[in-house]
Amino acid sequence: MTELHSSKDSEHRSGRDDSRLDSLNVRKLVAPRNRSIETLSKLSLFLRFLKPVTWIPVMWSFLCGAVASGSFGWKDLGGSKFLLAMLLTGPLATGTCQMLNDYFDRDLDEINEPNRPIPGGAISLKNATILIAVWSILSVIAGYLIHPLIGFYVVIGIINAHLYSANPVKLKKRLWAGNIIVALSYLIIPWIAGEIAYNPAVTLSSLWPSIIAAALFTLASTGTMTINDFKSVEGDRLVGIRTLPAVFGETNAAIIAAVLINLGQLLAAGYLLLIGKNIHALIVAALVIPQFLLQFSLVRSPKTMDVRYNAIAQNFLVAGMLVSALAIKAIKP
């Protein structure tokens, strides 16, 4: 009889544990660990660790800075400097930051995304450390070869990645701070790097239009970073990561994100009006309209619309960045 009760209690506890795990993984269901992750080639596994989809915003920001410099043209797209810059802003610097994030978030990923390379067991902590060290050195060297100051910016970006993910600071758990530092690293730093790369004689005063435009789009990007937090809200709440969705709830966080996204771009349009680029300003403002319409669906269902919203709406935001860069180019002497 005691064994029977013990068996029932065990089954009851097991059921509760299974229910808890199910609730934690509502957003992303994962298959057992003996699945394809072990059969991936080393190159495929490495690419998963570097997260290529995250490279695009940084590469685009660099391109916008290069265009805004006034010294970048179609002929430069195939130049060695531009190709090295794409390598730097994509797989090297951004890849390094993504590996760092996975390294320091491995415990959280056990809850939110257990099929990632480190929590899934495909990459050991020792190998991850070696990869991060080598990639960090290569990133700084590549930045220095483009311009010594850009090498320094790469160091700042890597430090920001530590501040974002690593304890005891771990800015990602401090509400606004995490999104701000990511937007800064993804937008302002590469934008200014693009200016410097193609106009080495640039001065602080000539950089101001780019700094202002990039800062305003950084405000908008802070909103898009918030949308990225919806996928991990259960795990964030469990371990005390204070993202906007975890603190204010998904609907309120979606509203806040939408306001930031729209405000940043409308302010950028206003700035273009101030510098006399009226047509560019109208285009940037018009590009907000489709994003605004998509935000109704996002607010209604943040956790099911987050990926779709970013996949569609981000195209209009980055188009506005390029239009702003062209406006800044037009006012350069």
pLDDT in tens, 1-21: 444 444 444 444 444 444 444
- Tell me the percentage of the chain whose pLDDT exceeds 70: 88
Between 82-86, 114-118, 258-262, the lowest mean confidence (pLDDT) is in 114-118
Q: Which amino acid is at 128?
A: A
Class of CATH domain 203-333:
mainly alpha
Check pLDDT > 50 for residue 64: yes
What is the pLDDT at residue 179? Answer: 82
Tokens of 322: 């390029």
Across 47-67, average pLDDT: 93
Across 126-151, average pLDDT: 95
What is the pLDDT at residue 105? Answer: 84
Between 33-42, 278-287, 298-307, 318-327, the lowest mean confidence (pLDDT) is in 33-42
Between 78-87, 182-191, 241-250, the lowest mean confidence (pLDDT) is in 241-250
pTM of the model: 0.83
Rounded distance, CA 231 to CA 24, Å?
11
Class of CATH domain 49-202:
mainly alpha
Kindly tell me the number of DSSP H helices and DSSP E strands found in the chain.
17, 0
Residue 189 CB neighbours (<10 A): 24
Burial category of 255 from C-beta neighbours within 10 Å (exposed 0-12, middle 13-18, buried 19 and up): middle
Domain ranges of the chain: 49-202, 203-333
Residue 172 CB neighbours (<10 A): 26
Check pLDDT > 60 for residue 254: yes
Check pLDDT > 70 for residue 93: yes
Between 14-23, 246-255, 282-291, 302-311, the lowest mean confidence (pLDDT) is in 14-23
Residue 158 CB neighbours (<10 A): 20
Tokens of 303: 């956790």
What is the pLDDT at residue 40? Answer: 57
Residues 6 or more apart whose Cβ sits within 8 Å of residue 115: 30, 31, 33, 35, 37
Report residue 293's pLDDT band, with 50, 70 and 90 as the boundaries. very high
- Tell me the percentage of the chain whose pLDDT exceeds 90: 56
The 10s digit of each residue's pLDDT in 176-235 is 788 888 888 999 999 999 999 998 788 888 899 999 999 999 999 988 888 888 877 777
What is the pLDDT at residue 174? Answer: 79
Rounded distance, CA 44 to CA 307, Å?
23
Check pLDDT > 60 for residue 36: no
| Contact assessment for residue 243 and residue 226, using Cβ atoms and an 8 Å cutoff | yes
Check pLDDT > 80 for residue 286: yes
